[in-house]
């Protein structure tokens, strides 16, 4: 892929003209489909790229990802990586990518724990916080000076995230705190995520559903996708209007829905969760569909 110029690639030109493409609009009442012309997906100024299922699966990078990202950087594109993984600090996510041969700085990564720290410092800096989560998350919150607590009588906020050791004791502690009026927070609402074998496994959304069922309360604030806090921070970081950015991810319910809510053009890749999704709600429809991220540099982009 080295040296490939997508605009002059015969393979790419069989799918895209040099500037824009006429997009057949099927008979539908959905307003997002009533667009006669779409930009070539390489004409955007910034790219907000999901990680798990888009850049890698588990600890395995997807084919030719390094070359795609290198090409985008060489073209002067701004890159940010938006992930719902709250179990790792941004520095450790960058290190994980570095071990895969992908050069990314921590400042280019936005994840729910980073958004949560910013939010909690501003709105609940002194509120005793109960965390259902794993990995770096509890330590990152504590390092930010946020008071952690496990006493249901003292807990003022409950933060739910992915937790492979979630059990009845944790459920009951959170249940008691929320029933007593604690704020109900969550890092992400993904029902599943793709593991390194491409299989879907339960994610934080399953734990949220359990708490919502027993407390009859909905999440008050969601920090990750599909809520818009992460994308709003991404737009603020690059300093560009939404229409000049392309959001790319594998999950219609999180990646695509978040972009659509803010008017950010979206592209769905079939390399992760979307492999097993047959149909999506109208609110989760992307502008582009890619088999994988490398299709940006040559290959099929279809509807």
Q: Same structural domain for residues 201 and 240? A: no
Measure the CA–CA gap between 118 and 248, rounded to whole angstroms: 24
Helix (H), strand (E) at residue 175 = helix 168-179
Q: Same structural domain for residues 237 and 214? A: no
Burial 220-240 (b: 16+ CB within 10 A, else e): ebbbbbbbbbbbeebbeebee
Indicate whether 119 belongs to any domain. Answer: no
Indicate whether 258 belongs to any domain. Answer: yes
Q: What is the mean pLDDT of residues 51-76?
A: 92
DSSP codes, 178-236: HHTT-EEEES---SEEE-TTS-EEE-HHHHHHHHHHHH----SEE-STTSSHHHHHHHH
pLDDT of residue 57: 86
Give every strand in the sheet of 157-160, ordered side by side.
129-132, 157-160, 183-186, 221-222
Q: Same structural domain for residues 254 and 280? A: yes
Q: Domain residues for 264?
A: 6-84+226-302
- pLDDT, tens digit, 9 for 90 and up, residues 251-302: 898 999 999 999 999 999 988 765 555 555 556 899 999 989 988 886 444 4
Q: Same structural domain for residues 251 and 204? A: no
Of 222, 243, 263, the residue at which a domain comes to its end is 222
- pLDDT, tens digit, 9 for 90 and up, residues 80-127: 999 999 999 999 999 999 999 999 999 999 999 999 999 999 999 999
Provide the percentage of residues in the chain whose pLDDT is more than 70: 82
Model confidence at 44, pLDDT cuts 50, 70, 90, reads very high
64 Cβ neighbours under 8 A, 6+ residues apart: 1, 294, 297
Q: What pTM did the predictor assign?
A: 0.82
Indicate whether 133 belongs to any domain. Answer: yes
How many residues make up the chain in this entry?
303
Indicate whether 13 belongs to any domain. Answer: yes
pLDDT of residue 296: 87
Q: What is the mean pLDDT of residues 235-241?
A: 98
Kindly report the CATH number assigned to the domain that includes residue 251: 3.40.50.1000
Q: Is 186 exposed, middle or buried, given 0-12, 13-18 or 19+ CB atoms closer than 10 A?
A: buried
Burial 248-271 (b: 16+ CB within 10 A, else e): bbbbbbbbbbbbbeeebbbbbbbb
pLDDT of residue 279: 56
Number of folded domains that form the chain = 2
Q: Same structural domain for residues 37 and 69? A: yes
Indicate whether 238 belongs to any domain. Answer: yes
pLDDT of residue 28: 44
Of 205, 222, 239, the residue at which a domain comes to its end is 222
Indicate whether 117 belongs to any domain. Answer: no
Q: What is the mean pLDDT of residues 203-227?
A: 97
Q: Same structural domain for residues 76 and 148? A: no
Give yes or no for residue 138 having a pLDDT over 50. yes
Q: Same structural domain for residues 64 and 14? A: yes
Indicate whether 115 belongs to any domain. Answer: no
Q: What is the mean pLDDT of residues 73-80?
A: 97
Q: Same structural domain for residues 129 and 190? A: yes
Give yes or no for residue 27 having a pLDDT over 60. no
Q: Same structural domain for residues 178 and 156? A: yes
Give yes or no for residue 184 having a pLDDT over 80. yes
Provide the percentage of residues in the chain whose pLDDT is more than 90: 71
Q: Are 214 and 179 in contact (CB under 8 A)?
A: no
Q: Pick 11 or 171 by higher pLDDT.
A: 171
Q: Same structural domain for residues 28 and 49? A: yes
Indicate whether 1 belongs to any domain. Answer: no
Nearest CA-CA partner of 87 in 140, 135, 159: 135
Q: Same structural domain for residues 164 and 249? A: no
Give yes or no for residue 229 having a pLDDT over 50. yes
């Amino acid at each position: 892929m080295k040296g490939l110029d997508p605009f002059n690639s015969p393979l790419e030109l069989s799918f895209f003209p040099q500037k824009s493409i006429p997009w057949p609009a099927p008979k539908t009442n959905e307003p997002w489909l009533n667009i006669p012309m779409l930009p070539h997906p390489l004409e955007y100024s910034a790219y907000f790229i999901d990680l798990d299922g888009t850049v890698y699966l588990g600890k395995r990078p997807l084919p030719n990802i390094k070359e795609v990202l290198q090409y985008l950087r060489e073209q002067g594109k701004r890159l940010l990586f938006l992930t719902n993984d709250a179990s790792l600090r941004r520095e450790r996510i960058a290190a994980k990518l570095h071990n895969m041969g992908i050069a990314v700085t921590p400042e280019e990564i936005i994840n729910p724990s980073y958004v949560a720290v910013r939010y909690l410092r501003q709105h609940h800096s002194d509120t005793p916080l109960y965390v259902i989560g794993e990995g770096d998350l509890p330590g990152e919150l504590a390092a930010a000076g946020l008071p952690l607590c496990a006493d249901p009588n003292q807990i003022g906020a409950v933060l739910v995230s992915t937790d492979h050791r979630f059990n009845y004791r944790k459920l009951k502690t959170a249940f008691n705190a929320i029933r007593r009026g604690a704020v109900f927070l969550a890092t992400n609402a993904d029902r599943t995520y793709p593991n390194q074998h491409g299989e879907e496994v339960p994610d934080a959304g399953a734990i949220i559903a359990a708490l919502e069922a027993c407390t009859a309360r909905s999440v008050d604030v969601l920090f990750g996708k599909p809520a818009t806090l992460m994308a709003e921070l991404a737009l603020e970081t690059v300093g560009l209007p939404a229409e000049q950015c392309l959001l790319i991810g594998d999950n219609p319910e999180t990646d695509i829905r978040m972009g659509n809510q803010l008017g950010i053009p979206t592209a769905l890749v079939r390399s992760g969760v979307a492999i097993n999704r047959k149909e999506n709600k109208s609110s989760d429809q992307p502008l582009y569909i890619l088999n994988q991220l490398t299709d940006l540099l040559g290959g099929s982009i279809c509807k």
